[in-house]
Amino acid sequence: MHTPRALKAAGLVLAAVVLGLLTVQGTYALWNSAVNSNAGTVQAADFRVSLTDGPTNTTTDMTVNGLPATVALSTTPIGVVIPGQSVYAGVQLGNVTNAGGDFKIRATAGTPGITDSSGSGFASVLSVKAVAADTLAQCQSAALYAGAKNMASVDIAKNMTGVLCFQVTLDASAPGRLQGKSAGISIPLTVDQL
């Protein structure tokens, strides 16, 4: 006997739920509205580091089309290396980014690679030292390299420059048979944002 009464109660609850959903749906339509807005432009920051070589004062970006650039200090030869003596070169790095905020970058000279395409052994009697400096003119001072480590780094503030200098030394005991021979020296530079 209680079954018809339970069915009537269930029907009444179902009708109330349907009526409630219809009411909420009508209210939901009032909550939605569209407003036109003018879209802005979003541009990514340009993280640029410029390289200016000491001999020619030629400037290039550290990356060109996403690939590492090469600064050829050999375009103006750094000089003839005499046994027991050194020759010098340098590169100026610029933090020329358009990114917002003030930040520094750290440029680091990696381990030099010395290649000897003639197979004469010339590369084995050459050494390269990299140090940080304030100006390219300082790169010519032998005192700058005294006691310096083989791996140098320089911190550069936004819109400022820093300099890495290189000393190439031929061992004093280099044999005379190496006279007139040449070698290629490459020094990888890496830059990190601090």
Please choose, from the candidates 170, 78, 176, the residue with its C-alpha nearest in 3D space to the C-alpha of residue 126. Answer: 170
| Total domains in the fold of the chain | 2
Judged against a pLDDT cut of 90, whether residue 137 lies above it is answered with no
User: Do 96 and 9 fall within a single domain?
Assistant: no
Query: Does the global pTM surpass 0.75?
Result: no
- What is residue 102's three-state secondary structure? coil
Tens of pLDDT along 15-71? 666 666 666 555 545 555 666 767 777 767 777 888 887 767 778 888 777 777 777
Residue 38 forms part of a structural domain = no
Q: Which of 90, 92, 106 is nearest to 157 (CA)?
A: 106
Q: Is residue 56 part of a domain?
A: yes
Of 63, 50, 64, nearest to 162 (Cα)?
A: 50
Residue carrying structure tokens 């020296």: 185
User: Can you give the C-alpha Rg of the chain in angstroms?
Assistant: 35
The answer to whether residues 8 and 63 belong to one domain is no
Going by the DSSP 8-state scheme, the letter that residue 184 receives in this structure is E
Examine the domain organization and report whether 62 and 24 are in the same domain. no
β-pair partners for 15? none
pLDDT at 169 over 70: yes
| Residue 81 and residue 11 in one domain | no
> In this model, does residue 148 exceed pLDDT 80?
no
Name residues whose C-beta falls within 8 Å of residue 164's C-beta, 6 or more positions apart in sequence. Answer: 90, 91, 93, 107, 109, 130, 131, 132, 133, 152, 154, 189
97 and 180: one domain? yes
Q: Give pLDDT, residue 161.
A: 92
Do 7 and 100 lie in a common domain?
no
Q: Are residues 153 and 98 in the same domain?
A: yes
Which structural domain, as residue segments, surrounds residue 4?
Answer: 1-33
In the chain, the amino acid numbered 3 is T
